[in-house]
Amino acid sequence: MSDELWKAYAHGWSAAMSEGGTFVPHVLLRTASSLGLSDTDVMIMLQLMSYSAAEGTEFPTMEQLAERLGSSPRVVGERISRLVKDGYLSIDDYVDSNTGMQAERYNWSGWMMRAAERAAEDRRSAKRSSPSERNQAIPITSKRKPASDLFSVFEQEFGRLLSPYECESIGAWLDEDRYTEEIILFALKEAVFAGKLSLKYIDRILLEWARNRVTNVDEARAHSEKFYGGRS
């Protein structure tokens, strides 16, 4: 390739990339098939993300989506209706800051939550199938609530939806680190008390308790009282 052609090629790529992009968490693509989503379903939701991120269009028409997908507005409308019914998409009302008027926008947080829960379940199943893990003693046994309940508590305290990465991190605490939900929720409470609401801070709390062989809430409370008492 000549220098002139190479420069033209590089310039073209630079111009294309300057238009921006759409970040797609890997977990969304990895779990799509197991969630029963078709390629068309995935592409519709990715196009909705693209419209929002790159063009500021929060509620594209069926015709706009159909043109990009090489489909018909009827087919796209049917698929979106199904995605809304199944909880992968929702339509939110909001006030447009530019016009001051009521408007609608698509919300795909349902897809993110379902994908994160499936990834956590897949990880849990993989752990169960491992002979070494089956023989490994779990420090505490407790009545498990659905993972979505735990996520909901975090979302309530954070005041927002969790990202797929955050959902996977919480799932890893349960399935890889073997922390109980009670311990995780108590660590969340400690983070709220300290005014440091972040998963990184909560992870440090859990790691500190693990190092000190703290295995239940009573021990965690005693450890925290000793820690804060020593600082006063």
The string of pLDDT tens digits covering residues 33-65 is 999 999 999 999 999 999 988 888 999 999 999
pLDDT (tens digit, 9 = 90+) per residue, 144-181? 444 557 888 888 888 888 777 788 888 888 888 888 99
As given in the structure block, the two tokens for residue 131 are: 């002979």
In a domain? residue 173: yes
Shared-domain flag, residues 123 and 142: yes
Query: Above 50 in pLDDT, residue 125?
Result: yes
Measure the CA dihedral 38/39/40/42, to 10°. Answer: 90
Shared-domain flag, residues 25 and 74: yes
DSSP for 76-117 reads HHHHHHHHHHTTS-EEEEEE-TTT--EEEEEE-HHHHHHHHH
- The CATH number of the domain where 171 resides is what? 1.10.10.630
Shared-domain flag, residues 150 and 217: yes
Shared-domain flag, residues 89 and 127: no
Shared-domain flag, residues 122 and 221: yes
Please count the structural domains in the chain: 2
In a domain? residue 112: no
As given in the structure block, the two tokens for residue 41 are: 């379903």
Shared-domain flag, residues 76 and 128: no
Shared-domain flag, residues 57 and 137: no
Mean pLDDT of 100-121: 88
Q: Print the domain residue range for 167.
A: 118-231
Query: Above 70 in pLDDT, residue 188?
Result: yes
Q: Residue 7's pLDDT band (boundaries 50, 70, 90)?
A: low
Residue 185, pLDDT score: 92
Distances (CA, A) of 204 to 101, 191, 210, 231: 45, 10, 10, 18
Q: Residue 123's pLDDT band (boundaries 50, 70, 90)?
A: confident
Domain boundary among 53, 88, 107: 107
Q: Are strands 102-107 and 90-95 parallel, antiparallel or unpaired?
A: antiparallel
Domain boundary among 107, 139, 168: 107
- The CATH number of the domain where 19 resides is what? 1.10.10.10
Shared-domain flag, residues 41 and 11: yes
Residue 136, pLDDT score: 44
Distances (CA, A) of 6 to 11, 15, 228: 8, 14, 63
